[in-house]
Amino acid sequence: MSLLEVKNLKKTFGNNEVLKDISFTVDKGEVLGIIGPSGSGKSTLLRCATNLEHQDSGTIKYNGTFGLVFQNFNLFPHYSVLKNIIDAPLVVQKRDKKEVLDKARELLKKMGLADKENAYPYQLSGGQQQRVSIARALAMNPDILFFDEPTSALDPELTGEILKVIRDLAADHMTMVIVTHEMNFARDVSDKVIFMENGVIDSYGTPDEVFARENNRVQEFIGRFGN
């Protein structure tokens, strides 16, 4: 079953055609990696898919709810870690307080942050903040989770902890769409990979297909990235 169906998506900023007829689907339990050079439209695609931007034409069909993890976390600085996670489930989804608290604590434990529930975001490292923001997104019980370069704002030595969290989610069959510049990670965590260039999907397929030696454009892009 497709959880997400994007059809003929187009988006222009001024006279800059950023997305030119993008179509793809994401199945339940699938991890879709999106790679491509800077400015190719990856973030714009995610922003359209999450309603932060409105497409000029095309359709986006969901069979479920979604969450988004931002590059720079966007935690609420005046809320404690726990409150960041429970506020929207309580206020927006109006769920039962005890159930939400249990869920939040379980997520914090999973993220290795059980002892941080009363901390404020400024007291945490970037990696810890990103783990809180992933917990915040998961607490809403989304059917799909989008990530826009979740490790790009982190010091290199902290990217590993976030990639591990995402790998664990993949192992739990969480449906995810992940924009990333971490090529090795994209290659081994994804079920399908999209390589975007200049607002079009240049290649789509399994990691082995997209990263195949014969795929010159992807090879050239990876070469430029050096991993």
Partner 1 sequence: MSLIRLIQELSSGMLVTLEIFFLTLIFSLPLGLLVSFGRMSKFTPLRLVVKVYISIMRGTPLMLQLMVIYFGPYFIFKVNMSNLPTNYRFYAVIIGFVINYAAYFAEIFRGGIESIPEGQYEAAKVLGYSKAQTFFRIILLQVIKNVLPSVTNEVITLVKDTSLAFVIAVTEMFTLAKQLASAEVSMTPYIAAGVFYYVFNYVVAFIMEKCEKKLNYFKA
Ligand X SMILES: Nc1ncnc2c1ncn2[C@@H]1O[C@H](COP(=O)(O)OP(=O)(O)OP(=O)(O)O)[C@@H](O)[C@H]1O
Binding site for partner 1 (CB under 8 A): 50-52, 66-68, 70, 72, 74-78, 87-88, 91-93, 120-122, 136, 140
Q: Tell me the C-alpha distance between 206 and 193, whole Å.
A: 6
Tokens representing 224 are: 């430029």
Residue 149 Cβ vs Mg ion, minimum distance, rounded to whole Å: 6
Rule CB under 6 A: choose which of 3, 4, 26, 40 binds ligand X: 40
Residue 65 Cβ vs ligand X, minimum distance, rounded to whole Å: 23
DSSP 164-199: HHHHHHHHTT-EEEEE-S-HHHHHHH-SEEEEEETT
Contact 148, 69 (CB under 8 A): yes
Nearer to partner 1 by Cβ, of 120 and 204: the residue is 120
Q: Where are the beta strands (DSSP E) in 48-207?
A: 57-62, 66-69, 144-148, 175-179, 192-197, 200-205
Nearer to ligand X by Cβ, of 34 and 145: the residue is 34
Nearer to Mg ion by Cβ, of 41 and 89: the residue is 41
According to CB under 6 A, which residues from 19 to 38 bind ligand X? Answer: 36, 38
Nearer to partner 1 by Cβ, of 90 and 194: the residue is 90
Contact 4, 144 (CB under 8 A): yes
β-strand pairing of 2-13 with 57-62: antiparallel
Count residues binding ligand X (CB under 6 A): 11
Query: Applying CB under 5 A, does 84 fall inside the site for Mg ion?
Result: no
Contact 174, 98 (CB under 8 A): no
Nearer to ligand X by Cβ, of 40 and 80: the residue is 40
Query: Applying CB under 5 A, does 43 fall inside the site for Mg ion?
Result: yes
The residue ranges that bind ligand X (CB under 6 A) are 13, 16, 18, 36, 38-44
The residue ranges that bind Mg ion (CB under 5 A) are 43
